[in-house]
Chains A and B, each alone.
Chain A
Amino acid sequence: MTTQTPSITATTMGKRSWLNLAGWSAALVVLGWAWQGTEMQPGLLVENAGNMATLASDFVPPSFTNLGHYIEQMLVTIQIAIWGTLLAIVFAIPCSLLSSDNLVPWWVYQPMRRLMDACRAINELVFAMLFVVAVGLGPFAGTLALFIHTTGVLAKLFSEAVEATEAGPMEGIRVTGAGRIEEIIFGLIPQVLPLWISVSLYRFESNIRSATVLGMVGAGGIGVSLWETMRGFQYTETATIMLVIIVAVTALDMASQTLRKRFI
């Protein structure tokens, strides 16, 4: 740190520590502000410890009489996640290309990005409620909800990968006289494909988790049973459902992770 130009170093250091101080203060203010908003009362946890113990004891022992039904519902949940993700991938590919500033002019990527922002901003549960109204109760509404939200997420992640690519390979294809789409297929896609696959699988994992709650608003899957048993205070059933969810999500996460590793 001590060089031939101590005065400059000192001023930059001074500036640094000022910035540091300001940064930390700002962070503390935000944390305090959020604490107020969330009405945090850790004391309640201690005060109501008794209640919580009673509640927890209601969950044991899990009841396995309806296990078959829950497993079936879990499979529906997985099916929702599969199709929701797959449709999203198919639509996210063109949408991401159209939101990349190295491929299209600003008057294409700006509107496309805003559209994708909107898809992403609204939670899948909200979309699910809307689709339940539109197409009726059941897994189809859930699939559509996941599809729209995930398209927004994947389009952004895909296009970030596209914007990080090198221009060289695409130029290499361009000068052979090939068209714009060939340029993308041969020059761009090979560069982004591993990342796209890995991001899609990751999204599939998180979509399974999201799909487990879609049923709570009537959009199919295991969430329906989850909601019903909780509302009926059948906590031993709820416990079984939770176990099914934990086992399925963990297994699929692990499977998808091993797959992902092969593509990076």
Chain B
Amino acid sequence: MSLTTIAVQQLSKTFGHHPVLQDIGFEIRQGERVALIGPSGSGKSTLMRHLVGLTRANRQGNSCVHALGRDIQRHGKLISASRAERCRTGYIFQQFNLAGRLSVLTNVLVGRLGRMPRWRALLGRFSAEERAMALHALKRVGLEELAGQRANTLSGGQMQRVAIARALMQDAELILADEPIASLDPRSAREVMDILKRINEEDGRTVVITLHQVDYAREYCQRAIALRQGRLYYDGPITQLTDARLQALYENAGLNELYQPSDGSVQPVMLRAATG
């Protein structure tokens, strides 16, 4: 049987009076490649941030976020963890979150901070081996010539690829990528998706990718989790995410429509991934 990598239970998040996530629950097993989809503002980024403890769930309620064998947060309280534990999860931000005034190479090298001896991390003394790794990661995203350039002089797509190289550098077991191809041209987008696919298939890393491009989700992921207005709307094999469902997901149509099968063959809206 396969191990659970992520387990989310009864997760709700309200910003002010605005409920952004409502009673979300799902599990992701080791080695899965999952697309997280949903319209803009449906809460995808917020959900992803909960998975690494950047955002805390509502205090009231029995929420629990579990990842890589430890609780990240329970009932809206973060559970602290060692550096060694935390660096097992890599995160690619929708806004890249690079340190603009540092060089591209340094921005990639920091992906290693959690794994370095503390004194070297504090002094920023990266070893020759780490530099070589960083250059290699940059090469994988096609940016090795820009290693010396300041990060804030890059184009959006280049920044996005630096953020991806940083996550690669981290060598994490679980990679959470928040719209990693949003500002890339089709060819770079494909390259990035191929990289994510490869580390999933060859290295057995679990990958969760937020995507706006359903075509990519269909092509690259086995499973889809869809959010709509902060609620779990669909969770199941991507093959069964039919055009009709997608239309209902993205159009301003009422949820109820889906519960009225036009022909008897339509599946229930929620499909658990095919396990127990």
Digitize A170-188: 1 where CB-to-B-CB distance is under 8 Å, 0 elsewhere.
Answer: 0111111111011001110
Contact with A along B56-92 (1 / 0, CB 8 A): 0000000000000000000000000001111111110
A176 near B170 with CB under 8 A, answer yes
Contact pick for B97, options A169, A179, A193, A194, CB 8 Å: A169
Given contacts A169-B100, A172-B98, A190-B99, contact A178 B93 (CB under 8 A): no
Whole-angstrom distance from the CB of B148 to the nearest CB of chain A? 16
The answer to whether B101 touches A191, judged by C-beta atoms less than 8 angstroms apart, is yes
CB contacts (< 8 Å) of B91 on chain A: these are: 175
| A172 x B97 contact (CB < 8 A) | yes
Number of B residues near A (Cβ < 8 Å) is 34
- Complex CA gap A178/B114 in Å reads 4
Contact A185 to B97, CB < 8 A, known contacts A176-B112, A177-B87, A178-B83: no
Chain A CB within 8 A of B132 CB: no
A168 within 8 Å of B by Cβ? yes
In-complex Cβ contact of B118 among A172, A179, A185, A194 (8 A) = A179
Within the complex, the shortest CB–CB distance from A185 to chain B, in Å, comes to 7
Q: Are B110 and A186 in contact (CB under 8 A)?
A: yes
B residues in contact with A185, CB < 8 Å = 122, 124
Is B248 engaged at the interface, CB distance under 8 Å to the other chain? no
Residue B258 interfacial (CB < 8 Å): no
Partner of A186, one of B89, B115, B124, B163: B124
In the complex the two chains form, what is the Cα distance from A20 to B124 in whole Å?
A: 55
Seen from chain B, the residues whose Cβ lies within 8 Å of a Cβ on chain A are 52, 54, 83-91, 93, 95-102, 106, 110-115, 118, 121-122, 124, 163, 166, 170
In the complex, the 9 A-B pairs of residues with the closest C-beta atoms, listed nearest first: A177-B114, A177-B87, A172-B97, A178-B113, A177-B86, A168-B97, A190-B101, A175-B91, A169-B99
Given A173-B110, A177-B85, 8 other A-B residues pairs in contact with their CB atoms under 8 A: A172-B99, A175-B86, A176-B166, A177-B88, A178-B121, A179-B121, A185-B124, A190-B100
